[in-house]
Amino acid sequence: MPLKLISFDLCPFVQRSVITLRYKKAPYEIEYIDLENPPAWFSRVSPTGKVPVLEVDGNTHLFESAVINEYVDDITPPTLKPADPLTLAFNRAWIEFGSTAIIDQYRIMTAETEQDMEDHQASALAGLHRLEAQLGQGPWFNGADFSLVDAAFAPLLMRYRLMNASTPLFDEDEFPRIKAWGDQLLGLDAVTGSVPDDFPQRLRHYLSGKEGYGPKRFSNA
């Protein structure tokens, strides 16, 4: 069942799916599109106009990263989903929480003014405090076993590492569980190899093409 992931190289939602595909060692092809100037066929296969889209067998197009990841997991046993239905539902809720956190992060990077950046930063930090309070002793979200919720948060934590290195947004030591979780995630091949080697430069280049306070801060990093 050939899989092709339709992608944008800097998209954290795409990266969630790449991590899942890599972790599950599922063979796949990847096709990058320019999201600002998408090819005509893209609107036929993506009902939301968003990436990732997973093309299966050349004819079915799945969209929404969380759905794509569950499908990839289902066809490549053993599963990365917790067996207990309540834990699974709880994980899905936190994956959704992670999507909001990704959007907050993007808004920080692309904030128009310093005030906008501070507002988005406050909202992002409130989310990180909630996440910190939710995490246990680790090493993974559910404890001993890596699962889809871990894959879903890796792009967020990877980007905060990068952003904090140049423009400190928060003190990582205030979030010891998130920090330890980030260390675990960044120790995985599936995570480190989920973005191009020159990802930091590509991100800076992307931001340098945008106006505003955030892009200026993060593209000069």
Ligand X SMILES: N[C@@H](CCC(=O)N[C@@H](CS)C(=O)NCC(=O)O)C(=O)O
- Read off the tokens for 72: 């990839």
Whether 214 contacts 108, CB under 8 Å: yes
Give the nearest distance from C-beta 109 to ligand X in angstroms.
12
Give the nearest distance from C-beta 124 to ligand X in angstroms.
16
Would you say 32 or 213 has its CB closer to ligand X? 32
Contacts of 167 (CB under 8 A, 6+ apart): 217, 218, 221
Binding letters toward ligand X, positions 73-102, x by CB under 6 A = --------------------------x---
Give the nearest distance from C-beta 17 to ligand X in angstroms.
8
Would you say 52 or 215 has its CB closer to ligand X? 52
Q: Does 50 bind ligand X (CB under 6 A)?
A: yes
Supply angle C-alpha 26, 136, 87, rounded to 5: 55
Contacts of 175 (CB under 8 A, 6+ apart): 128, 129, 131, 132
Q: Does 51 bind ligand X (CB under 6 A)?
A: yes
Q: Does 194 bind ligand X (CB under 6 A)?
A: no
Would you say 99 or 110 has its CB closer to ligand X? 99
Q: Does 49 bind ligand X (CB under 6 A)?
A: yes
Q: Is the dihedral of CA 197, 200, 201, 206 positive or negative?
A: positive
Q: Does 141 bind ligand X (CB under 6 A)?
A: no
- Kindly provide the residue ranges of all beta strands, DSSP E only, lying in the chain, ordered along the sequence: 3-7, 29-32, 53-56, 60-63
Supply angle C-alpha 132, 195, 151, rounded to 5: 35
Would you say 13 or 141 has its CB closer to ligand X? 13
The whole-angstrom separation of Cα 178 and Cα 189 is 19
Q: Which of 30, 33, 35, 180 binds ligand X (CB under 6 A)?
A: 35
3-state secondary structure of 61: strand
The whole-angstrom separation of Cα 112 and Cα 210 is 9
Q: Does 65 bind ligand X (CB under 6 A)?
A: yes
Q: Does 206 bind ligand X (CB under 6 A)?
A: no
Q: Which stretch binds ligand X (CB under 6 A): 58-66, 112-120, 163-171, 196-204?
A: 58-66
- Tell me how many residues contact ligand X (CB under 6 A): 12
Q: Does 13 bind ligand X (CB under 6 A)?
A: yes
List of residues contacting ligand X (CB under 6 A) = 8, 11, 13, 35, 49-52, 64-66, 99
